[in-house]
Structure 1
Amino acid sequence: MNKPFVSLRPEITRSHALILMDWLEDERVTRYLSDSRSVSGFIAQAIDRTQMPILTHLFNQGGRFFMAYDRNDSPVGFVRLVKTGPDCEIVLVIGDHDTWGRRLGASTIREGLKLAFLDMRAETVIAKIHPDNTRSLKAFQRCGFLLKSETPTLQSLHMTSGRYLRLLREGVMAASADIYITEMDKARLQSLIEFEQGPALVDLEHEIERAIVVDPQQVAPDVVTMNSRVALQLDDEEKEVALVYPEDADERSGKLSVLSDVGAAILGYQEGDAIDWMVSDRTRHILIERVIYQPESSGHFHL
């Protein structure tokens, strides 16, 4: 679990706004942020003109704004996604300079791409970066962005939806272990995604797209497939759950929908795999201890 982990969360509170102002007053943070003064002024005005504890609606004017958190649930930066037609510009700042050098920037970029392509359905994501900002340039290039154009003061990088999906399937975008999905499960889950709604849909689609697809008769017996029963550890809590389709879900009986946070998290992993995942607005550590029952290994291919 030494790989960097970042989650993006849309809720912005007054305390978040104050943290953002502190970051934007740090010259190390704002050196290459062209609109840092206007952003800082906007935040100050937002705090002054409302006493509301939640400021999310103010930050989402003209785009979508997210706070970035590390695996300890500490805010480390922010992402802004601005969609114009089929294109989406990503603006990213890691404001906590004590975390610089830990590759949180690349993890944040990957989370931003997931939202831009799988939630906002952008065709192209664009990042505009000062050529002297070598740390950011390397992070975006490491994630697969390509140079589109450049001037002495600006490099424009881009990523297309097709390239994103290809890199995702090749494992370049993954920050965790390989996962496996049967051909039958993938087909059923893709049909499910077309008609369902819910906060876990983007994460589920991301996992399905990056999964290694296998024949149901060839899947390893310790892989979590649909309708498997699994013993897992959620932080310090031992749980036994079944991974089911939404119509069969019953949390009181331990039947978790694949559209739930934990359900989407465990799909495709193997015994011994450990995952950091956002569950109910906080980061949880999930360990797959044992696959108690897997339909495919028992010859139950109709489930």
Structure 2
Amino acid sequence: MSEPFISLCPEITRANAFHLIDWLEDESVVRYLSDSRHVSRSIEQVVQRVQLPILTHVFNQGGRFFMAYDRHDEPVGFVRLVRTGQDCEIVLVIGNRDNWGRKLGASALREGMKFAFFDMRAEKLIARIHTENARSLGTFLRCGFVLERETSAMKSFAMTSERYLQRLRAGRMGASSEIYITEIDQTRLRRLVALEPGPDTVDLAHEIERAVVVDSRQVDGDVVTMNSRARLRLDDDAMEVDLVYPDDADGSADKLSVFSDVGSAILGYREGDAIDWRIHHRTRRIRVEKVLYQPEAAGDFHR
């Protein structure tokens, strides 16, 4: 439970807007943000002018905007992705100084990369950082960004999609637990995700690419593969589910599509593993208690 955890939420509420105003009026937070004062005033004007509970459409003008939440569903910062041709530029802020030093910035950056490369399909992700912003410089370097150019005031870092995938597949993107996927499942799932790209498949696409790929005849019997049946615990709620392909999900509670939040979360984990995952606007603790049936362990290689 001590591992840093961040989830990004694209829905921006009025309450979020007031958090943003508070953060952007803190001199220590905005010290290296060139347009922070202008942005803060603009948000105040929006809140006064637009009397709606959800302001997502306003914040997504010119890019994609996400609130960053911690494990306790408290907003701790934001990530903005701006399309520039085939590339994206990222702006990342951890807004409350009490959260500095908890490695939440690196976790938010990794989540931002997921959306940039798996949703927006960027060829390159760019970050422009003030030369005196040592904390941010260290975060981007530790996450594998490469210095492209610099001036006396600014350094420009980049992560290409190719480099991102290489590091992801090599297990160098900070995931706390390894997951396992069979060659057959990976091929089928990649094909399905390619047919339905978008924010709903970002997490699944990420999990498919970071997984350790194993032969169907060699996967351990306690791993959740496709068409496995497992007993789970979501916080305090127990449930038994079959992890199935979308076409096999019939809407019942026990036929869980791999495209669903929980389905994407449990793929590749094994008995005893526990993870935090954001489901329906809140973070849940998911534990795989028992793999009750696994096709590969049962000798069914022709599902």
Q: TM-score, normalised by structure 1?
A: 0.98
Cα deviation, residue 51, structure 1: 1.1
CA distance in 1, matches of 2:29, 2:206: 31
Alignment of 1:47-126 (within 5 A): 47-126=47-126
189-198 or 89-98, larger mean C-alpha shift: 189-198
* Aligned counterparts, 1:8-19, within 5 A: 8-19=8-19
Distance in 2 separating the partners of 1:29 and 1:228: 47
Give the SS at the match of 2:202.
Answer: helix
Is 1:198–1:259's contact at 8 Å kept on the other side of the alignment?
Answer: no
Flag structure 2 segments of 5+ consecutive residues without an equivalent.
none
Letter in 1 for 2:228: S
Alpha-carbon separation, structure 1, partners of 2:74 and 2:296: 41
User: In 2, are the aligned partners of 1:23 and 1:29 still within 8 Å (CA)?
Assistant: yes
Deviation (angstroms), 1:199: 4.3
Q: C-alpha displacement at 1:186, in angstroms?
A: 0.6
Q: Structure 1 pair 57/200, CA: closer, same or farther in 2 (3 Å)?
A: closer
State the AA in 2 paired with 1:80: R
Q: Provide the residue aligned with 1:130 in structure 2.
A: 130
Match of 2:3 in 1: 3
Which one is further off, 245-254 or 19-28? 245-254
CA deviation profile, 1:42-66 (whole Å, cap 9, x unmatched): 1011112111111111111111111
2:20 aligned residue: 20
Look up the match of 1:193. 193
| Distance in 1 (alpha carbons) for counterparts of 2:81 and 2:199 | 18
Output the CA distance in 1 between the equivalents of 2:253 and 2:104. 38
- Structure 1 CA distance for aligned equivalents of residues 62 and 81 of structure 2: 9
Q: In 1, distance between residues paired with 2:283 and 2:175?
A: 15
Which residue does 2:146 correspond to in 1? 146
Q: What RMSD over aligned residues (CA atoms) do the two structures have, in Å?
A: 1.1
Q: What CA distance in whole angstroms lies between the structure 1 residues aligned with 2:122 and 2:72?
A: 30
**Structure 1 counterpart SS, 2:252:** helix
Percent same amino acid among aligned pairs?
Answer: 65
Could you tell me how far apart the structure 2 residues matched to 1:199 and 1:126 are?
20
2:197 is equivalent to residue 181 of structure 1: no
Partners of 1:75 and 1:261 in 2: CA distance: 20
* Aligned amino acid, residue 250 of structure 1: D
Query: What code does the residue aligned with 1:179 have?
Result: I
Note the alpha carbon deviations across 1:63-96, whole angstroms, 9 max, x for none: 1111000010000000110011111000000001
Distance in 1 between residues matched to 2:270 and 2:301, nearest whole Å: 19
User: Residues 231-263 of structure 1, C-alpha deviation per residue, up to 9 Å, x if partnerless?
Assistant: 111010111111001111134250100000000
1:171 corresponds to which letter in structure 2?
G
3-state SS in 2 of match to 1:101: coil
Aligned structure 1 segments of 4 or more residues deviating by more than 4 angstroms: none
Structure 1: stretches of 5+ with no match in the other structure: none
Distance 1:190 1:55 in 2: 33
Question: Could you tell which deviates more after superposition, 44-53 or 244-253?
Answer: 244-253
Residues 207-230 of structure 1 show CA distances to partners (whole Å, capped at 9, x for unaligned) of 000001000000011000000000
Q: 1:112 to 1:147 in 2, by over 3 A?
A: same
**How far off its partner does 1:131 sit?**
1.0
Pairs within 5 Å for 1:263-302 = 263-302=263-302
Look up the equivalent residue of 1:84 and give its one-letter code: T
Matched, 1:257 2:257: yes
Matched residue, 1:223: 223
